Structure 1
């Protein structure tokens, strides 16, 4: 063999080695197709991931800051009506869940980093205004909460899309997306603790003003630490009107808002009120029009062709589980404050273990997600949602905290932090980079919209069984049983998904868990 032949073989061996390294070490810093290059230093990557995870942290903090000082805020507006108080959380979740899909499309078209930054600035503005609503009335506060929710709607899909474009499928991506999910319970506790401190010791508007200040600094940090992202190559022959699917966006948002409003207003004014069921009918019409438009749009807001049967099963599980979670958290808080007589700050302290349990669940999910079928992960998550609901629904009022209440608080985050990362990773890995915003949007739409819808369903049940407000415990338990039914339905969907996956694996023995 000549020296030249040896040199050629050496080059081939080196090339094969580099290819093997690229296939096995999916953590290289080189940008993949349509992706971005992650920071090269560990400190820079930590800052990058930290700012991105701040989106989820602040989103859940926004939910906690209305639930913890619920009656303090209600008293300042002169209301103790449970239906009116539920709007403090429901108005926020309504817009988070409704506008996420549009936000994901805007990021896909005009840049994820741009709308991530805009989301934090928007969140900061309306957090400040929500605090100033103390000088106005409850309706203005509810409106501020609704507009405040548009900020997380812009943040969440674009945050996940940035991570999806930065990291290739593999263990590192799974772990980082799991950490993103782990910040949810920690964010709720953070929002609850600080809003309770401000509510009890100073003045509740300071919780919202502090939120605005933090969001402003996170927006500035995002500008500095998120790498430059190449804008997508747009087809100049397609108009903005078509590219953003304006007809689908308008009809979809109107339908979702009216449906959500009717479901949450029904328990307040009664389902026999004409405008309540009229809005349900009108929302159904708009959603049907939305489906018709999407089936014929050249660039649909929700391209059904991009979704698989696996995605449908996963999203069904997420919707059932997270609607039960919304019921669990809202009525758990009322249970501890109204029936056990705890202060908002003590209640926040009792919820602190969810941050540790959620982190353990997220790390576990990041480790097993590439080794276990998605159907099994979802089955475990739905079981955790159900067990957590049963534990608190059957807890006596006079029971010690360390019995069922504490165990429920430990168990429930395993439903949250297994279902959310699993769904996010699956959809992110199965969709092309130009649809990363859509993948992130779908999971977050289902999560946040189902929370709001679940509260509406639970409020209806509570109002029917609490004997006109005379029996709070019976009303709370009725709501929890509604949540248990929803998470039980999630278990059924997960079993169907497992059966579907098992049959498919029989036909394709070499199929990977998330293939």
Structure 2
């Protein structure tokens, strides 16, 4: 349910994802250096009629909407899917969600770089088509094993990983700075809670018939959306700089060594933590994967800092502020991943509610998410982003405590309702706050990748957090042979989310104190001058 408020999240940034400028076909306003004149740039969406603009924005926002559907439609029926494959514990079934978020978090940055090279619209359409294909395969996995289903979920995630960064780039280059652009980004972020609740509702509805229809219907709808987006999104050509590059220059720009080592590291580390939930850490291949992942991570870091001319992640430009951004964002969204999975499992399997009722119970995320996004959009220009980050971490902490301590038979309007409302504040404040801090902390040439980096951390942390919580659940649930043991495992996982959110809260306090101290030193220096 990640969120983006407005261009205020990137006050110093170039208004395009990454740094490659785009211009419409046939534009003669390109000088010898292949850069469009700033005062002659045509913002494509602003040349469209109002109905056409509405279709354009709605289509691009489908990237966020369908991303959240892919998460929500499995959360509520994960038990039904797991039962059909013979899975018995929540830890085993967490892979059905973790694989999806893993691939999103792993491939976002690469997909954004591909959009710079081959066109953001083209990659958006390809991503939707890919998402449709693997949604259909996920449904057909019912005739095979859960291994195929997990692979399908992993490959499904590559679709949103492709559409999300390229959708942001399309919106950024389609409008000039101003109210219309702000509203376009606001709707993009606002599509997240609608997608999540739609996924929960459709998943629960189709599961009443047969759960594969959840994914078959999704695949059919995505295929139609793929064709529609090819028409609704205006054509945007790759810049002359990109098209005139030689093959060697393209390869160097793509940073192939960085892509390979980065993807290998993220996949191996995440696989180790989530697979340990299924087979245990005593299996040699699990910790071998973790060690290999760490080695690939070290190689990726060295390549990005010392070798790559166009690094995917500019580690060389990072500072302590960025470290706090990463820490707060990672702990907060890992908390969210654990919360949304294990809180739903608790009320589904222990409380005994239906998947459709679960969708209704989570419905408050829609008004809460929209109000939070609008409030953050207004506050970002008036108070420090570090304060908003702190507010978000407090929300994660309080919401996760309510989930971990909720009595099984408590009234909905007490623990569950307030946990949902409060957690939404954390989700809808942490992303824009992280984006603005990242924007202020890195040089201008790296401004454009801010959203993609934060989106990577958001989605990867969801998956990794499920691995952490699943390990806790497996170690304390005594095999989950009865409801009491199941509940014990769920509680342990939810307390893991409390610990992570508490760590994020500490990070945000330290960062706020550091910022205040820096401000005082600056004031003293000015007085002396």
TM-score interval w.r.t. the shorter chain?
0.7 to 0.9
Give 3-state SS (helix, strand or coil) of 1:39's partner.
Answer: helix
Question: Which residue pairs with 1:107 in the alignment?
Answer: 115
Q: 1:390 aligns with which of 401, 404, 427?
A: 401
Bigger CA radius of gyration: 1
Deviations 1:291-312 (A, max 9, x none): 1111211222212355565444
Alignment size in residue pairs: 482
Would the alpha carbon gap of residues 362 and 401 (structure 1) be closer, same or farther in structure 2, given more than 3 Å must change? Answer: same
The structural deviation recorded for 1:431 is 7.5
The structural deviation recorded for 1:499 is 2.4
Question: Which residue pairs with 1:355 in the alignment?
Answer: 366
Distance 2:461 2:50 in 1: 37
Would the alpha carbon gap of residues 418 and 179 (structure 1) be closer, same or farther in structure 2, given more than 3 Å must change? Answer: farther
Distance 2:149 2:286 in 1: 22
Distance 1:309 1:177 in 2: 29
The structural deviation recorded for 1:289 is 1.1
1:242 aligns with 2:252: yes
Deviations 1:383-409 (A, max 9, x none): 111111011111101111111111111
Superposition RMSD on alpha carbons, in Å? Answer: 2.6
The structural deviation recorded for 1:508 is 5.6
1:297 aligns with 2:308: yes
Contact kept, 8 Å, 2:92 with 2:277, in 1: the verdict is no
Distance 1:406 1:311 in 2: 34
Contact kept, 8 Å, 2:105 with 2:161, in 1: the verdict is yes
Distance 1:142 1:378 in 2: 34
Would the alpha carbon gap of residues 116 and 306 (structure 1) be closer, same or farther in structure 2, given more than 3 Å must change? Answer: farther
Distance 1:390 1:209 in 2: 37
Question: Which residue pairs with 1:275 in the alignment?
Answer: 285
Question: Which residue pairs with 1:257 in the alignment?
Answer: 267
Give 3-state SS (helix, strand or coil) of 2:196's partner.
Answer: helix
Distance 1:372 1:447 in 2: 23
Question: Which residue pairs with 1:9 in the alignment?
Answer: none
The structural deviation recorded for 1:358 is 0.8
Question: Which residue pairs with 1:472 in the alignment?
Answer: 486
Taking the TM superposition and a 5 Å limit, the aligned residue runs for 1:138-217 are 138-167=146-175, 173-200=181-208, 202-217=209-224
Would the alpha carbon gap of residues 187 and 51 (structure 1) be closer, same or farther in structure 2, given more than 3 Å must change? Answer: same
Would the alpha carbon gap of residues 180 and 218 (structure 1) be closer, same or farther in structure 2, given more than 3 Å must change? Answer: same
Distance 2:386 2:181 in 1: 20
The structural deviation recorded for 1:428 is 6.5
Distance 2:237 2:50 in 1: 23
Contact kept, 8 Å, 1:113 with 1:226, in 2: the verdict is yes
Would the alpha carbon gap of residues 500 and 174 (structure 1) be closer, same or farther in structure 2, given more than 3 Å must change? Answer: farther
1:325 aligns with 2:336: yes
1:58 aligns with 2:66: yes
Question: Which residue pairs with 1:231 in the alignment?
Answer: 238
The structural deviation recorded for 1:255 is 1.1
Distance 1:386 1:494 in 2: 12
Deviations 1:71-92 (A, max 9, x none): 2112222222323211110111
Give 3-state SS (helix, strand or coil) of 2:44's partner.
Answer: coil
Contact kept, 8 Å, 1:461 with 1:478, in 2: the verdict is yes
Would the alpha carbon gap of residues 172 and 482 (structure 1) be closer, same or farther in structure 2, given more than 3 Å must change? Answer: farther
Question: Which residue pairs with 1:487 in the alignment?
Answer: 501
Distance 1:437 1:158 in 2: 12
1:414 aligns with 2:425: yes
* Structure 2 runs not aligned, ≥5 long: 1-14, 16-23, 25-35, 524-529
Question: Which residue pairs with 1:6 in the alignment?
Answer: none
Would the alpha carbon gap of residues 35 and 204 (structure 1) be closer, same or farther in structure 2, given more than 3 Å must change? Answer: farther
Distance 1:504 1:224 in 2: 51
Contact kept, 8 Å, 1:171 with 1:370, in 2: the verdict is no
Distance 1:365 1:121 in 2: 33
TM-score with structure 2 setting the length: 0.85
Would the alpha carbon gap of residues 325 and 163 (structure 1) be closer, same or farther in structure 2, given more than 3 Å must change? Answer: same
Contact kept, 8 Å, 2:43 with 2:176, in 1: the verdict is no
Question: Which residue pairs with 1:81 in the alignment?
Answer: 89
Give 3-state SS (helix, strand or coil) of 1:228's partner.
Answer: coil
Give 3-state SS (helix, strand or coil) of 2:45's partner.
Answer: coil
Question: Which residue pairs with 1:334 in the alignment?
Answer: 345
Distance 1:71 1:393 in 2: 20
Would the alpha carbon gap of residues 45 and 310 (structure 1) be closer, same or farther in structure 2, given more than 3 Å must change? Answer: farther
The structural deviation recorded for 1:62 is 0.3
Would the alpha carbon gap of residues 491 and 170 (structure 1) be closer, same or farther in structure 2, given more than 3 Å must change? Answer: farther
Distance 1:76 1:379 in 2: 42
The structural deviation recorded for 1:220 is 2.6
The structural deviation recorded for 1:495 is 1.7
The structural deviation recorded for 1:264 is 0.3
Question: Which residue pairs with 1:513 in the alignment?
Answer: none
Contact kept, 8 Å, 1:175 with 1:367, in 2: the verdict is no
The structural deviation recorded for 1:436 is 6.7
Question: Which residue pairs with 1:438 in the alignment?
Answer: 449
Give 3-state SS (helix, strand or coil) of 2:410's partner.
Answer: coil
Question: Which residue pairs with 1:91 in the alignment?
Answer: 99
Distance 2:170 2:320 in 1: 25
Distance 2:76 2:37 in 1: 43
The structural deviation recorded for 1:437 is 6.1
Contact kept, 8 Å, 2:322 with 2:441, in 1: the verdict is no
The structural deviation recorded for 1:167 is 4.3
Contact kept, 8 Å, 2:138 with 2:149, in 1: the verdict is yes
Q: 1:405 aligns with which of 384, 392, 416?
A: 416
Give 3-state SS (helix, strand or coil) of 2:94's partner.
Answer: helix
